[in-house]
């Protein structure tokens, strides 16, 4: 069975790189993507992906609030934070909102597939370089 994924990031090029990276994993399928929190909440409800890859800092509604709303409305959906920020306050905010994982964007190529597999299996994942 394929793990379905919703990608949320306000940078088009980064979303494209994630699609390319995840397209190489035979057990993963990107079912949607968006660039903001409100549409992430809507798409999570409509698509019911196994995992949402959530940018932490976005204009308007940030990834913390979007994660909180997704997890409350869809408790079976797992969220992995993707961020350039390695500070403990960002990690704590996302995990406090219900994220099951946190990966630094510059480590995504090495860690993201492993993180998705772990989180989809019900295990938390905190990437390298994090407190």
91 pLDDT band, cuts 50/70/90, is: very high
Q: What is the mean pLDDT of residues 45-52?
A: 98
Residue 85: predicted pLDDT: 94
d(CA 46, CA 14): 23
- pLDDT of 131 above 90: no
d(CA 104, CA 130): 8
Q: Taking a C-beta distance cutoff of 8 angstroms, is the pair 94, 63 a contact?
A: yes
Instruction: Map out the domains of the chain with their CATH numbers.
Output: 3-126 (3.40.50.2300)
- Sign for the pseudo-dihedral over CA of 56, 62, 65, 66: negative
Predicted TM-score (pTM) of the model is 0.96
129 pLDDT band, cuts 50/70/90, is: confident
Residue 130: predicted pLDDT: 83
In this structure, the strands spanning 78-83 and 3-8 are: unpaired
Q: What is the mean pLDDT of residues 82-92?
A: 95
């Amino acid at each position: 069975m394929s793990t379905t994924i919703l990608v949320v990031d306000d940078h088009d090029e980064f979303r494209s790189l994630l699609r390319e990276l995840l397209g190489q994993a035979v057990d993963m399928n990107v079912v949607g993507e968006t660039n903001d929190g409100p549409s992430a909440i809507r798409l999570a409800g409509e698509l019911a992906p196994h995992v949402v890859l959530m940018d932490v800092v976005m204009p308007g509604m940030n990834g913390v609030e979007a994660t909180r709303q997704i997890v409350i409305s869809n408790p079976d959906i797992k969220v992995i934070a993707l961020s350039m920020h390695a500070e403990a306050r960002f990690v704590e905010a996302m995990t406090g909102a219900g994220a099951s994982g946190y990966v630094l964007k510059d480590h995504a190529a090495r860690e993201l597939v492993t993180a998705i597999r772990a989180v989809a299996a019900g295990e938390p994942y905190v990437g390298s370089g994090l407190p």
